[in-house]
Structure 1
Amino acid sequence: MDRHGYWNRILHVGLGDGRTWVEEPGDRFFRRYAGGRGLIAHYLLTQVPRGADPLGPDNILIFAPGVVTGAPVPGAGRHSVGAKSPLTGGFGESESGGYWGAELKRAGWDAVVVHGASPAPVYLWINDGAVELRDARHLWGRVTGDVEEAIVAELGDARIRVAQIGPAGENLVRFACIANDLNEVAGRTGMGAVMGSKRLKAIAVRGRTPVKIADPPGLTALAKWVSSTMDQKHRAFHEFGTGAAMQGKSLEGGMPVLNYRLGAADSVARVDAVAVRDQIRVKMTSCYACSVRCKKVVHIEPTEEAARAASDTVYKGRAKVGVDPGGRYRVDPRYGGPEYESLAALGVNLGLDDLIAICKSNELCNALGMDTVSLGATLAWAMECFEKGVLTLEDTGGVPLRFHDADGVVGLVEMIAHRRGVGDLLAEGSERAARRLGRGAEAFLTTVKGLEMAMHDPRHMPIMRASYLLAPTGGDHMRQSGNRNGLRNQVGLCHFLAYDDAQALQILEAVTGWEVTPEELVATAHRGLTLARLFNLREGFGRADDRLPARFSDPLPKHAGLTPEQQDTIVTDYYIEQGWDAATGVPTTETIRALEIEDDAAHAVTRDTQPATREERDDMAQLRIPLDAARFATGLTWKDYMAQMGDTRARTEDNYQKAVLTDEERKFFAGITQVRHVLMLAENWCGDVHRNSPLIASICETMPGCELRVFFRDQNLDLTDCFLNHGFRSIPIVVFFDKDWNELGRWIERAHAATAKVAGIRARTLDAAPKDQQDAAMAEYRKLVTAEYDVPGGPLWRAAAAEVRLLLETRLGLAPKA
């Protein structure tokens, strides 16, 4: 059939054995996931084991354009990169512009999924449909500009596009980025560290086939609208890029200054985008097919003579090259120039007004491959720690970490990228560094879910509150948690273009030929966000993590702090909007079915490892689990288990009555005949066993021909260690087998809804209580947790039953099909 906007070709690369293969997932796959976050979350849920080391070979790295990427229309140059984040331990994703994503689409590929790790440095060469892994040992350790020149010369084609890591990625700096076209970066969540852990230095791409468009005249009309309305819609971006509004932000009291403490700085006018234009900018450039041209390029030389020579020879007198009056730095124009986030993170938030040094730090970040936002926020945290005496010269190896020290920041950029001295601590990111340091250092953090917040203060900007609280990646400012930007992320359309929702729909229809409704666009955005939420839940995140750091409860001079109650209201309203449980943020079964993601959701429910095929999964289970009919028969029946419980028996029997199945649940489980053996690992003292084992017993009693046997965890560690929960021996462990002892799936500990609920109760009691009140707090904690299960047939029982049902539906092929 004729396809438009996508090729139905996903490239998989196995670095461990050098194997490549092509997946053709079908048209429904692309209509469902579109690209970007949706595609990334799908592969993370289905291909990455729960609890996998983000810097280990079990993690995967996904390069995911969208169905619009590569179309000849402004804004269609976007792609996303995703993996489990080494910075946060959760859903990792970052977007980039430029030309690389469009080039990948023109080469005939919809995405690249990288598996495993190479034994030696390599780079991937994609030449249309030809794919080759090439030796990169001669490139390892070199900065991005030199690497791009070397690859282009080696392959002999000046039109090749390169996405790559710098030395920071090689050294596993946890906020290392992936740079493409030298001045565009997938900056957030540490994707460069994942690429470095795989010893993949770069992906070079050359494509020669235009992306097929369903309605070229319709798309051309939208492209002409952008250029014809430049003055009305995009003039500020065209003239300045980002950062022109910094003076206004400061006057309003919302500028991040000295680690988000002040809200304003007199020096802002010396380092904003207007100053960049007037002093050091030589031109503006664009991303693929875009007429807005919003990307700054700066060029600075250390002497007047060198600047004049560059102006005359490089720019033919049409641009004035900047000069460092101190004669310190040259800033290479290949690396573009600083956008707002960099001007703020590496500038005013560190107390700096030295524009030359800020540009040098930005250039180094692009050359070495580091996220300027996390870098700047980590430095601001460290400087406040140093100011307060929490970090000392003894800790830093004699390096002072002071605000207002521009040259010191330039030096620290290189120390962090190479993990030298105190740079090794700071390369972990601020939250991990604070944990390692202790001494109250966490009080100065500006992280959400482990990701440093960007340079927009939520006390000043209400529109940013939900973004920081609820973005699946953590402290992200791109409002990716909303429908508009959530959709654009997945289809590959720039957030900055002033298309309204109707125009975004027209672009998608013109490119793909799909007949799309506004409701489908919303569902697409919700699908990506819900998939990412499921991944985070599986990796241990919950409502307690949807919280701003303590700093933002403090007021600014012109803005009030944000109370926990304000934050809770935003979070609850958002959960409801997304179709998630209002208390816990766990997607409901109805939402999962409506979004057609039952198969993906099963991997969040089961905490299982990659099920490449049913046969492989079952074979691995048989080899891994020391269980057969004879061993199974040694376990306790439910009746015998209850009889030996002693003083915990009454509590468990009471829960057995409260956990009674609904009629609809009983009907479903009564129709399951494939489950013949159920293993439960338990201990009498465990509260989760008292609360959840009765429900499991009821389910097993309802399934025809099903036999449940209970084993004590600590007496059967060979069984227990087959089912570790993120490295821990959690209980209860429930494993379902068919008649031939093939594992059908597993359910561990408690429902996701219960985990989130318990975390919230703990935050209000044990975590909030002073040390001298911990006994009373523990009593209150236990009382509140018990109360959640006091209602017969209550929501936590239903959540557990729904998870087991979804697990069995999916693994037995019973999930409803759209």
Structure 2
Amino acid sequence: MLLGYAGTILYIDLTTGKTRTEKLNEETAKKYVGGLGLGTKLWLSNSKARVDPLSPENPLVLAIGPVSGTMFPTGGNGHVFVSKSPATGGVGAAVSHGTFGAELKRAGYDAIVFTGKSEKPVYIWIDDESIQLIDAANLWGKSPGETEDAIKSELGDYYVRVASIGLAGEKQSKIACIINEKTRAAGRGGLGAVMGSKNLKAIAVRGTHDINVAKLEEFMDMVKEFHERMKGPAARKYRTLGSVENILINNELQCMPTNNYNNGYFQNAEKVSGEVLNERYVAKIIGCNSCAMRCEHEAIVREGPYKDALARMEYDNLWALGPNCGVDRLDSIIKAAERCTFYGLDAQSVGVAVSFLMDCFENGLVSAEELGGVDAHFG
């Protein structure tokens, strides 16, 4: 018996609406360790060569690893979507964290393989062994945050965990992401577009099963040891500032993506540092499942033209929408990140696309006239 795993793979055919389960193969689990390994194996086993990423024949796999859902810090909270990427044409993997993956494990599943395409928009409601495809026509066009609120209200359960797409996924943008818990993004690869191509608006999960490990006493000793390390001085700054602490560190190392990677040093890095973000903008600090690091920082703009803009800020979306575009105003960066989340766009992909356009503009490859009068200089 495989401990740590739920032991079940769920298959959902969106074309027919039929579901089935399959026992997780022990050899597969040992050979393809973790959500990424298992998810990639399942995608390869259910796909075919040269499949169109946005066709019904391209499976979308949601997978988690053996540690997900346990009390192990940092590793017990992740999940990954795997499919053929519409952005690259290769295998795409989009990772996110929070509590969604842990809830899926508690519902009794190590992975879900979505195949086919629904005739109309639907969302999946997984309540332990109960699997339902529910009409999502009323959710189509809503943001991920609005979708999550609507589903929780409809199901009458605040503790349901939801992953959904926004307008970008519905329109099959190649940089669409999948958002869980309103602000956490499974970003790279455009897998939100794959989800949208299947008319799958959201996945809602509620689980009540226990997760068992092989050697509980030894496991808990290891958990305690990691928690003690996380309380130590080496992690103090990360624990306090979150991943945005890397802004000043990487800038000092001259590896800060600046002006479409034309430079590795951003002159105004102090203005967008983790220290300034936390001092002036952070409204809430959130931890993922079983993780005391609490590196997720929600920031809000309290005054000015972008007042009340709210976004979860990390190093990735901050450098992409900030220094890499030559932008040194945190209120503007937070607003841009909020818009990305609202539409279900990968903020990092948006940032690098915009910075590339700015670079083209500054080098005379595209004009303001072609951009509808927009001055696209860096900054």
In which range does the TM-score fall when normalised by the shorter chain? over 0.9
Task: Please report the TM-score for the alignment, with normalisation by the length of structure 1.
Answer: 0.45
Residues 1:383 and 2:361 aligned together:
no
Q: Whole-Å Cα distance in 1 between the matches of residues 20 and 39 of structure 2?
A: 18
Equivalent residue, structure 2, for 1:81: 81
| Amino acid in structure 2 at the alignment position of 1:275 | V
Residues 1:261 and 2:236 aligned together:
no
Give, in angstroms, the shift of residue 371 of structure 1. 1.1
Equivalent residue, structure 1, for 2:53: 54
Q: Whole-Å Cα distance in 2 between the matches of residues 396 and 50 of structure 1?
A: 39
- Give deviations 1:749-791, integer Å, cap 9, x for gaps: xxxxxxxxxxxxxxxxxxxxxxxxxxxxxxxxxxxxxxxxxxx
Instruction: Tell me the SS of whatever aligns to 1:30.
Output: helix
| Amino acid in structure 2 at the alignment position of 1:59 | N
Q: 1:252 to 1:110 in 2, by over 3 A?
A: closer
| Amino acid in structure 2 at the alignment position of 1:220 | M
Q: Whole-Å Cα distance in 2 between the matches of residues 139 and 272 of structure 1?
A: 37
Higher helix share: 1
Equivalent residue, structure 2, for 1:171: 171
Q: Whole-Å Cα distance in 1 between the matches of residues 103 and 45 of structure 2?
A: 27
- Give deviations 1:53-90, integer Å, cap 9, x for gaps: 10111111000101111111212111111100000000
Give, in angstroms, the shift of residue 30 of structure 1. 1.5
Instruction: Give 1:14-413 correspondences, 5 Å limit.
Output: 14-75=13-74, 76-229=76-229, 230-300=231-301, 323-324=302-303, 326-332=304-310, 335=311, 337-404=312-379
| Amino acid in structure 2 at the alignment position of 1:262 | N
Give, in angstroms, the shift of residue 254 of structure 1. 2.1
Q: Whole-Å Cα distance in 1 between the matches of residues 164 and 337 of structure 2?
A: 17
Q: Whole-Å Cα distance in 1 between the matches of residues 377 and 195 of structure 2?
A: 32
Q: Whole-Å Cα distance in 1 between the matches of residues 159 and 171 of structure 2?
A: 29
- Give deviations 1:536-589, integer Å, cap 9, x for gaps: xxxxxxxxxxxxxxxxxxxxxxxxxxxxxxxxxxxxxxxxxxxxxxxxxxxxxx
Given that residues 73 and 223 in structure 2 are in contact (C-alpha distance below 8 angstroms), is that contact kept between their aligned partners in structure 1?
A: yes
Give, in angstroms, the shift of residue 256 of structure 1. 1.3
Given that residues 257 and 264 in structure 1 are in contact (C-alpha distance below 8 angstroms), is that contact kept between their aligned partners in structure 2?
A: yes
Given that residues 306 and 335 in structure 2 are in contact (C-alpha distance below 8 angstroms), is that contact kept between their aligned partners in structure 1?
A: no
Instruction: Tell me the SS of whatever aligns to 2:244.
Output: coil
Q: Can you give the 5+ residue segments of structure 2 that lack an aligned partner in the other structure?
A: none
Instruction: Tell me the SS of whatever aligns to 1:221.
Output: helix
Instruction: Give 1:535-546 correspondences, 5 Å limit.
Output: none
Instruction: Tell me the SS of whatever aligns to 2:211.
Output: coil
Equivalent residue, structure 2, for 1:727: none
Q: Whole-Å Cα distance in 2 between the matches of residues 43 and 249 of structure 1?
A: 37
Q: Whole-Å Cα distance in 2 between the matches of residues 72 and 142 of structure 1?
A: 34
Instruction: Tell me the SS of whatever aligns to 1:125.
Output: strand
Q: Whole-Å Cα distance in 2 between the matches of residues 281 and 91 of structure 1?
A: 36
Q: Whole-Å Cα distance in 1 between the matches of residues 187 and 2 of structure 2?
A: 32
Instruction: Tell me the SS of whatever aligns to 2:119.
Output: coil
Instruction: Tell me the SS of whatever aligns to 2:132.
Output: strand
| Amino acid in structure 2 at the alignment position of 1:278 | E
Instruction: Tell me the SS of whatever aligns to 1:402.
Output: coil
Higher strand share: 2
**Overall identity of the aligned pairs, in %:** 38
| Amino acid in structure 2 at the alignment position of 1:218 | E
> Which 4+ runs in 1 deviate beyond 6 A?
none
Instruction: Tell me the SS of whatever aligns to 1:92.
Output: strand
Give, in angstroms, the shift of residue 136 of structure 1. 0.4
Q: 1:117 to 1:262 in 2, by over 3 A?
A: same
Instruction: Tell me the SS of whatever aligns to 2:308.
Output: coil
Q: Whole-Å Cα distance in 2 between the matches of residues 119 and 86 of structure 1?
A: 21
Give, in angstroms, the shift of residue 173 of structure 1. 1.1
Instruction: Tell me the SS of whatever aligns to 1:245.
Output: helix
Instruction: Tell me the SS of whatever aligns to 2:338.
Output: helix
Give, in angstroms, the shift of residue 330 of structure 1. 1.8
Given that residues 300 and 334 in structure 2 are in contact (C-alpha distance below 8 angstroms), is that contact kept between their aligned partners in structure 1?
A: no
Equivalent pairs, count: 377
Q: Whole-Å Cα distance in 2 between the matches of residues 68 and 37 of structure 1?
A: 13
Q: Whole-Å Cα distance in 1 between the matches of residues 217 and 337 of structure 2?
A: 40
- Give deviations 1:179-230, integer Å, cap 9, x for gaps: 1111221111111111011110000000011211222222221222233231
Given that residues 226 and 291 in structure 1 are in contact (C-alpha distance below 8 angstroms), is that contact kept between their aligned partners in structure 2?
A: no
| Amino acid in structure 2 at the alignment position of 1:18 | G
Q: 1:146 to 1:220 in 2, by over 3 A?
A: same
Equivalent residue, structure 2, for 1:9: 8
Q: Can you give the 5+ residue segments of structure 1 that lack an aligned partner in the other structure?
A: 301-322, 405-818
Instruction: Tell me the SS of whatever aligns to 1:62.
Output: strand
Q: 1:176 to 1:206 in 2, by over 3 A?
A: same
Give, in angstroms, the shift of residue 394 of structure 1. 4.2
Instruction: Give 1:531-610 correspondences, 5 Å limit.
Output: none
Give the number of the structure whose alpha-carbon radius of gyration is greater: 1
Q: Whole-Å Cα distance in 1 between the matches of residues 212 and 254 of structure 2?
A: 48
Instruction: Give 1:409-808 correspondences, 5 Å limit.
Output: none
Q: Whole-Å Cα distance in 2 between the matches of residues 233 and 130 of structure 1?
A: 45
